[in-house]
Amino acid sequence: MQAHSRKAIRCGVAVGVFAALLTLASARDTASPYQTRCAVCHGRNGQGKSSTKAPSLVSSEVQKMSDEDIRKLIISRTNGEMERDAAHTSLKRRLTEDQITQVISEIRKLQETHK
């Protein structure tokens, strides 16, 4: 009987771990690209971080940029063309065109709440 109980406990633990992993994966998939990829350096509110030399994305200068200009800037940074920052270069492999569009949309929302 004890062997049966241990087997049931192991099975229950395995199911629990699997459920937790699915929940984490689902949460990561629904998290915004800005919050998962950009906020680490630019801040959750887009105001930038001097410690990482990441500029504000809610500044009046960025607010005046067109969406296409922001897109070009993201692409050039992620291609490593403007600087040799591995953090930006690695984004090239992680951001799809749709994700870049989402990031731009999020930046615009941050700018609206910052006014």
What per-residue confidence (pLDDT) applies to 114? 85
The dihedral over CA atoms of 105, 106, 109, 113, expressed in degrees to the nearest 10, equals: -160
Query: Is 1.20.120 the CATH classification of the domain at 32-114?
Result: no
pLDDT digit string, tens, across residues 13-59: 444 444 444 444 444 456 889 998 889 889 999 999 888 788 999 99
Phi, psi of 18 (to 5 degrees): -60, -45
Q: For the whole model, what pTM was predicted?
A: 0.64
Give the domain ranges of the chain: 1-30, 32-114
The contacts of residue 112 (CB under 8 Å, 6+ apart) are: none
pLDDT in tens, 51-106: 878 899 999 999 999 999 999 888 877 655 545 555 555 555 567 889 999 999 99
How far is the C-alpha of 102 from the C-alpha of 79, rounded, in Å? 18
Query: Which amino acid does the sequence have at 13?
Result: V
Mean of the per-residue pLDDT values for the chain? 75
